[in-house]
Amino acid sequence: MSRIRYTRRLPAAALVAGLAIAVSACGGGSTGTTAAAPAASASSAQLDPNMDLSKQSITISVWPGYTPEDLPKKVKDTLKTDLKVSLHDTNEIIMGKLTAGADTDLDVAFVSGQYAQALNEAGLLEPIHPELIPNLANLYPEAKELSYDKGNVFSVPYTWGTTGICYRTDLMKTPPTSWNDILSPPAEAKKKVTMMTTERWLALPAAKALGKSVNTKSDEDLAAIKAKLLEAKPNVFYDDVTFGDRLKTGETVMAEAWDGWCPTTEKNIKFVVPKEGSDLWVDTMVVLKSSKNKEAAHAFINFILDPEIHSWAAENILYKVPNKAAMDALPAKLKEDNAPLQMTPSQLLAGESIIDLGEDSTKFTRLATEVKAAK
């Protein structure tokens, strides 16, 4: 098993600000961008479930290391269609391409849930045609209740998880139970705590500690969140990528972390969801309305939802997949050694889904910029 790091959520504040404008433009705004009008959706009657897929091809865009390296061969062997894989490092990069109005030739894109929501609201997504994806039946029922897309109308979830506190059991006198343990750490942890700077996740600990929504648009809420983050700043530092490695070496004792990135295979490292609650993040697959290979695109998603294929993500990047058959097929030792994999769908759905905030997303961009710049 290899554990591959990838960078789907690295900060890109400037891009996010531009993204809000671009998506608004695609939705009919008047910012002067040159986005093309969205293509028309195909009706189910226009799609051929018996299409000879060897006459179509598929181009996907996905984060590096997020699918098997031999995926094109597997797809060719199974679906008889050619697969081209394009890579994007962050949500913001692929969103920039998709909302720029250029013909990307993409058929399927992997994006996080709130970004799928934004693309759909911009009219850029093909509705999911469930009759072409029988393996949707493998999804947990909870995977069809995601607040940004109830019923999987325009997206199909690929991985899901939550954010919590990853910590050293041997270097903390008392195990953390609250986001306040991160924001106002005990003496032994001061200046040995990391938080993430990615905008929505920078705000998350303070929002939850204050009893606020992670999707708040309230200026009053955001001012309170900012004040709490500034109060915490002298005792923490920021790390979105290597916090797990810092914990391993003992350089730090506690970190805000995505569940799959907490190295719980180390005997002295554990992961906990604070008592105030957390988020539910989801990475999805979407079909572009501009796709000229819609049957193959749906066949690809159906292929991914095959338990043998879908379980790759859990085994190799240690993120849970919303596919009951795939999770049931995981080796018991893998789950035993990686506690976050044991979280149930109902536990995940107890978290608050991060949704797209449209133009109000820039409030979180400004918040992150101001907090990071503060002395």
pLDDT tens digit string along 241-300? 899 999 999 999 999 999 988 999 999 999 999 999 999 999 999 999 999 999 999 999
273 plus 168 within the same structural domain: yes
pLDDT at 375 (0 to 100): 82
- In eight-state DSSP terms, residue 323 is B
**Tally of structural domains, the chain:** 2
Q: Is residue 96 part of a domain?
A: yes
- Range 124-132 average pLDDT: 96
260 plus 172 within the same structural domain: yes
Q: Is residue 107 part of a domain?
A: yes
Q: Is residue 71 part of a domain?
A: yes
301 plus 273 within the same structural domain: no
Q: What is the largest CA-CA distance in the chain?
A: 65
* pTM (two decimals): 0.85
Tens digits of residue pLDDT in 69-81: 999 999 999 999 9
Q: Is residue 315 part of a domain?
A: yes
Instruction: Kindly report the CATH number assigned to the domain that includes residue 337.
Output: 3.40.190.10
pLDDT band at 34 (very low <50, low <70, confident <90, very high): very low
Q: Is residue 48 part of a domain?
A: no
Domain range holding 288? 53-160+281-351
139 plus 285 within the same structural domain: yes
pLDDT at 40 (0 to 100): 74
Contact, 220 vs 275, CB < 8 A?
no
Structure token pair of residue 24: 């608004």
120 plus 226 within the same structural domain: no
- DSSP labels, 105-133: --SEEEEEHHHHHHHHHTT-BPPP-GGG-
Share of the chain above pLDDT 90, in %: 77
Q: Is residue 133 part of a domain?
A: yes
CB count in 10 Å sphere of residue 267 = 9
End-to-end CA distance of the chain: 43
- DSSP labels, 195-228: E--SHHHHHHHHHHHTT--TT---HHHHHHHHHH
359 plus 258 within the same structural domain: yes
363 plus 232 within the same structural domain: yes
254 plus 366 within the same structural domain: yes
pLDDT at 26 (0 to 100): 37
Q: What is the C-alpha R_g of the chain? A: 21
Residue listed under structure tokens 């993204």: 19
